[in-house]
Structure 1
Amino acid sequence: MAQAPVKSGVSVLLQGDPSALPAALRGLINNAQFSDVSFLVGRQRQVVHAHRCILMCRCKVFQTMFSRQSSQEMSVPFVLADMQPEVFLAVIEFIYTNSVTLNGQTALEVLTAAVEYGLTDLRKLCVDFISRTLTVDMACEALQAAVTYGQNDLRQRCLVFIERHTMEIIKTQSFRELSDLGIVSILQSDQLTIDEVPLIQAVREWAYVSSVVLDVPVSVVAQDAVRELRLVLLSPDELTTLERENAKDDLIPEMQIAQAWKFHALKKVSDSHPHHFHRRKGTLAREHHHYLDPPSK
């Protein structure tokens, strides 16, 4: 189809090869030539060279940072002691080229940096990469980052993965290092592929680790998490065993255990906490379960 002729005096925007500019700018990444700003990154204070005009036009955080500098401070390097050089270079790569090279070792830290620097498109690239490369060992670490930085899309993708691999997930170190908000987000799910008995034991192990790290009693550190445990799913014998274990650390409030015994006595689902009576996807069948809601699918 023939193009209409351009009228004389009319300006037209013409697009060249869209890959040419990023390719050219890639050559300026950490290039000392014509650089007018430098950063000392990480514990080893690795020098990273950059160009103010590029950083400022692409990132408001850098724009604010540079605008606060006096003329005398222009030659003083910025110190970024808490960031790994490879993470900062990934941020610089994105700023210069609108693309980023990620790997499983640095993706979560690049995500953190993207949030801190307000780089929305980099954040989206990190979330997509992390979601596609989740493993059992890193799933809880990714979930924790999502919870900490309010990344709901990543949080949902992590939960789906954790729901599918719950038995393996609870054995990982990153599960034991979750915050209370992180573990609560897991325990609220109906789709966990695990029975309540090993899940309670996993929460107990998590609580002991958190108690040592935070230097607070087990019952205090776990007070929000244990509210999400579904004790009514346990048989009377299992409840009796739980009471004996609980006498050692008071992990679960006595009132919560009493509510489970009340259900066994009355065979009636409470209206106050209906989700406590939902069977999870991995809940093993017990004789009293026919009094509960239908199992999760």
Structure 2
Amino acid sequence: MLSSFPGVRFGLMVGIGAGIPGRRADVRLGDIVVSRPEGTTGGVVQYDFVKAIQDGGLQRMGSLNSPPRVLLNAVAALQAQHDRQPSHIPRFLREMITKNPTMAQTQQGLPGFVHQGSHNDRLFVATFPHAGGDNCQNCNSAKQENRTTRDSVDPQIHYGIIASGNTFVKNAETRNSLVQRTGEDCICFEMEAAGLMNQFPCLVIRGICDYADSHKNDRWQRYAAATASAYAKELLEYVPVPTVGEGGQVSDLNRQIEDLNRQVRDLRNQLAQSRRPVYRND
């Protein structure tokens, strides 16, 4: 992509992810999670890049870059606008179905790009495994978490830390353990951002399609992808065109990173050479 479009400055990583239930954010299926830097974290943490420490615990290593300033400013402006007026996301979703009615229908066994009904948004206690089957019809309703009923099915937007890694998480207890390992109050799991954040300046936007537990299924994936895309569309309205050119091109940034990596390798080689023992023949 960069070879075809060398002027690219940044990107939006839009897709689906798994919500992490917690006291901080009441994340529901179809909601939107946006990465936002907090403390010393750039908005995304890599949960499977850890080292063992002396007391037997695990410690997260390294950190990932923050989104570019132009996107963070746009996010802040949009968030402030939503404090005053409702989001345009519900309107975008309605317009999508009006222009493309087929998208509301089930295709190839997958439900359409529409809200799947609050009765299909079921969060079970972490210790209760899936009872089997393609859905949760056989799962004991008494094992569901008690959550307040929402007044609207419109997606809500959550800002915070996203946990990313190469491990496919489909167990609630593992989910909770991995979150604790990061040392951050994460609100979403996904599997792509960790490999991209340090190479490509971007903002991560995820529509929530499951809870990273054994009850995971594909029912909400299309709608979650639609809500994330609708947020990205609204966000772009808050990115001032003149400021886009202020950041360096991604291709230039990658060359700078390669140069720095090369310098680090050279310094390491020089250090290794200087530490080699010298033998003298007297």
TM-score normalised by the chain length of structure 2: 0.22
Q: Per chain length, whose mean CA-contact separation is higher, i.e. which structure has more relative contact order (CA < 8 Å, sep 6+)?
A: 2
Identify, as 1 or 2, the structure richer in helix: 1
